[in-house]
Amino acid sequence: MNSPSPTPTRSFRRKLLFLGGLLLLWPLLRFLIHKVPKKPQIIEVSGTFQNKIFLAKQDFIVFQEDEQLWAVSRNCTHLGCRLNYIEKEKYLECPCHQSRFSRQGEVIRGPAAKPLPRYLVERTDTPSTYLVTMS
Amino acid sequence: MIAVKRITTFLATLRWGDWSLISLYVSLISGVVVGIHYSPAEPYYSASALDILVPYGSFFRSLHFYSSQFFFLFGVAHFLAVFNKSQSYSSKAYIYLIICFPCILMLLFTGYVLRADATGYSAGMIAEHILEAIPLFGPALNNILFSISTHGMDRVYLHHVISFDLLFLFLAWDHLRRYRVMLTDHLLFISLLLLFSLLVAAPIDPDQLGLLYITGPWFFLGLQELLRYLSPFVAGVLVPASLVTALVFLRQNHRWYRALLIFLCCWLGCYLILTMLALTAHG
Ligand code: FES
């Protein structure tokens, strides 16, 4: 037995529903791809600087030079591998495609194109303890 | 020439499909065992604790690792051996089986990532960046599949133990229903697999700062090398997708059959060269 053909009102409603669904796609997509910016994080780190120059942590490396302190991210700006500091050469190098960055975070060699994020570092009252603001 | 033909005929008679399926059984069972002591919240610690602290942990991790690798490798050999027969399958059945391969690779890949050692972590981050590079849907896709930098190993774990397994079962269900394999018929193969896992440890990088050269999982090496030269979207999405697409259309009655075959050979040849480069050129 054939199912009864939809009434004009029903088929109009179906079209309306379909169009509505289509219209919703855009806000849904925008919603899904939106990245909420990370809240600035203040991290307390402690430890001694190796050769009075650098202190490597999981996500960043703190450097000190002439009483100045700063930190750079350890996430390579090419595809995110974790960078190492090569002390002898005074640069950071990526183990995945060997991009190089200066201690200030500038690109020395690609494939990475963007510099590393730099973070503010402050001394605390406790010796060998620092506050790093990751933004 | 005759010798080559004989070898190929001999290889085609081997029971690759059976071995692949047995490896899958072992992989699934050993996966459950390994999962008892694995924690996605402490991925590296729990993975290395398996090797160092848990009695027989290293054996079970090896068994899970190698049975999974053999599952894939024997699966590929099986595909090559029965390729002619597969031509009688309907397009839908054939496409489902072809898509099984990227699905299995994702299972292997997420397994590597879950280890969270230097290799696993880097592979995960690279995958995350590749997904992010897909226009429009990339960030959403990454949010669903990996997003290691914000959610740690949670998503990867979920897909390794549930989603990709379900997808594989869905894709291969018909095929697996048709071809049954009895464990009792393969006692020698199972013993060899157990012995192999007992003797050869599954890889894991030591926890040290400053690993200078990371190569990644073996099947990822060529891609890892290609990412040096091409954008993540081209190297990580378009190039692998071209291989799967070519495989999907590789039917003997297709008018581009020869062209596709040549393309596939070139693709695999180039990938092999890239893999060699990754292993030798930058170390
Ligand atoms: S991820 Fe660092 S160079 Fe590619």
- Ligand 1 binding pocket includes A78 (Cβ within 6 Å): yes
Instruction: Determine the distance separating the centroid of ligand 1 and the alpha carbon of A55, expressed in angstroms.
Output: 22
Q: What tens digit of pLDDT does each residue of A60-73 get?
A: 888 888 888 889 99
What is the spatial distance between Cα B252 and Cα B2, in angstroms, rounded to a whole number? 25
pLDDT of residue A53: 77
Q: Does B151 touch chain A (CB under 8 A)?
A: no
Q: How far out from the chain centre does Cα B1 lie?
A: 33
Neighbours of A59 (CB within 10 A): 15
What is the spatial distance between Cα B121 and Cα B119, in angstroms, rounded to a whole number? 6
pLDDT of residue A123: 83
Task: Say whether A80 and B130 touch across the interface (CB within 8 A).
Answer: no
Task: Share the mean pLDDT of chain B.
Answer: 89
Task: Say whether A81 and B125 touch across the interface (CB within 8 A).
Answer: yes
Structure token digits, residue A81: 């591998």
Q: Where do we find the tokens 């402050």?
A: A122
Instruction: Spell out the residues 6+ positions from residue B64 whose beta carbon is closer than 8 angstroms to its own.
Output: B27, B30, B31, B33, B34, B111, B202
Q: Which chain A positions have a beta carbon within 8 Å of B282's beta carbon?
A: 98
Of B143, B212, B228, the CB nearest to A97: B228
Q: What tens digit of pLDDT does each residue of A114-134 get?
A: 999 999 888 888 777 878 888
Give B207-233 as a 3 state SS string.
Answer: CCCCCCCCCCCHHHHHHHHHHHHCCHH
- The Cβ-side half-sphere exposure at A129, using a 13 Å CA radius, reads 7
- Between B9 and B265, whose confidence is greater? B265
Looking at the CA of residue B122, tell me the nearest atom of ligand 1: 1
The pLDDT-based confidence of B19 (bands split at 50, 70, 90) is very high
What is the spatial distance between Cα B123 and Cα B214, in angstroms, rounded to a whole number? 9
Least confident among B1-5, B47-51, B54-58, B155-159: B1-5
Task: Say whether A95 and B212 touch across the interface (CB within 8 A).
Answer: yes
pLDDT of residue A2: 55
Task: Say whether A33 and B140 touch across the interface (CB within 8 A).
Answer: yes
Give yes or no for residue B176 having a pLDDT over 60: yes
**Residues 52 through 111 of chain A touching chain B, CB cutoff 8 Å:** 56, 75, 78-82, 84-86, 93, 95-98, 111
Q: Determine the distance in angstroms separating the CA of B236 from the nearest CA of chain A, rounded to an integer.
A: 11
Q: Which chain B positions have a beta carbon within 8 Å of A84's beta carbon?
A: 209-212
- Ligand 1 binding pocket includes A42 (Cβ within 6 Å): no
The pLDDT-based confidence of B81 (bands split at 50, 70, 90) is confident
pLDDT of residue A1: 47
List the one residue out of B159, B133, B137, B163 whose CA is nearest residue B146.
B159
What are the sequence ranges of the domains in chain A?
Answer: 1-34, 41-134
- Between B3 and B248, whose confidence is greater? B248
Q: Which CATH class is domain A41-134?
A: mainly beta
pLDDT of residue A54: 79
The proportion of chain B whose per-residue pLDDT surpasses 70, expressed as a percent, equals 98
Q: In chain B, count of helices (H) and strands (E)? A: 16, 0
List the one residue out of A87, A48, A119, A26 whose CA is nearest residue B209.
A87
Q: Which chain A positions have a beta carbon within 8 Å of B139's beta carbon?
A: 32-33, 35
- Ligand 1 binding pocket includes A99 (Cβ within 6 Å): yes
What is the spatial distance between Cα A103 and Cα A60, in angstroms, rounded to a whole number? 11
Task: Say whether B214 and A79 touch across the interface (CB within 8 A).
Answer: no
Q: Determine the distance in angstroms separating the CA of B40 from the nearest CA of chain A, rounded to an integer.
A: 18
List b or e across B63-89, with b for residues whose CB sees 16 or more CB atoms inside 10 angstroms.
bbbbbbbbbbebbebbbebeeeebeee
Instruction: Determine the distance separating the centroid of ligand 1 and the alpha carbon of B122, expressed in angstroms.
Output: 9
What is the value of ipTM here, to two decimals? 0.80
- A134 bridge partner residues: A41
pLDDT of residue B208: 67
- Ligand 1 binding pocket includes A107 (Cβ within 6 Å): no
Neighbours of B38 (CB within 10 A): 23
Per-residue pLDDT, averaged over A74-85, amounts to 91
- Ligand 1 binding pocket includes A73 (Cβ within 6 Å): no
List the one residue out of A49, A38, A39 whose CA is nearest residue A130.
A49
Give yes or no for residue B209 having a pLDDT over 70: no
Give yes or no for residue B35 having a pLDDT over 80: yes
Q: How far out from the chain centre does Cα B251 lie?
A: 24
pTM of the model: 0.84
Q: Whose CA is nearest to atom 3 of ligand 1?
A: A97
Q: Whose CA is nearest to atom 1 of ligand 1?
A: A79
Task: Say whether A96 and B118 touch across the interface (CB within 8 A).
Answer: no
pLDDT of residue A100: 93
Q: Determine the distance in angstroms separating the CA of B77 from the nearest CA of chain A, rounded to an integer.
A: 31
Maximum mean pLDDT: which of A4-18, B48-62, B207-221: B48-62
Per-residue pLDDT, averaged over B72-101, amounts to 89
Q: What tens digit of pLDDT does each residue of A1-44 get?
A: 455 666 778 888 888 889 988 888 888 877 767 777 777 788 88
Looking at the CA of residue B227, tell me the nearest atom of ligand 1: 4
- Is the peptide bond prior to B206 cis by the omega test (within 30 degrees of 0)? no
- The Cβ-side half-sphere exposure at B270, using a 13 Å CA radius, reads 13
What is the spatial distance between Cα B280 and Cα B12, in angstroms, rounded to a whole number? 33
Beta strand A129-134 with A107-109: parallel, antiparallel or unpaired? unpaired
Q: Determine the distance in angstroms separating the CA of A69 from the nearest CA of chain B, rounded to an integer.
A: 22
Nearest chain A residue to B130, by CA: A79
Q: What tens digit of pLDDT does each residue of B108-154 get?
A: 999 999 998 888 989 999 999 999 999 888 888 898 899 898 888 99
CA dist list (Å): B166 to B100, B103, B124, B162, B250:
11, 10, 21, 6, 26
What is the spatial distance between Cα B267 and Cα B242, in angstroms, rounded to a whole number? 9
Q: Does B214 touch chain A (CB under 8 A)?
A: yes
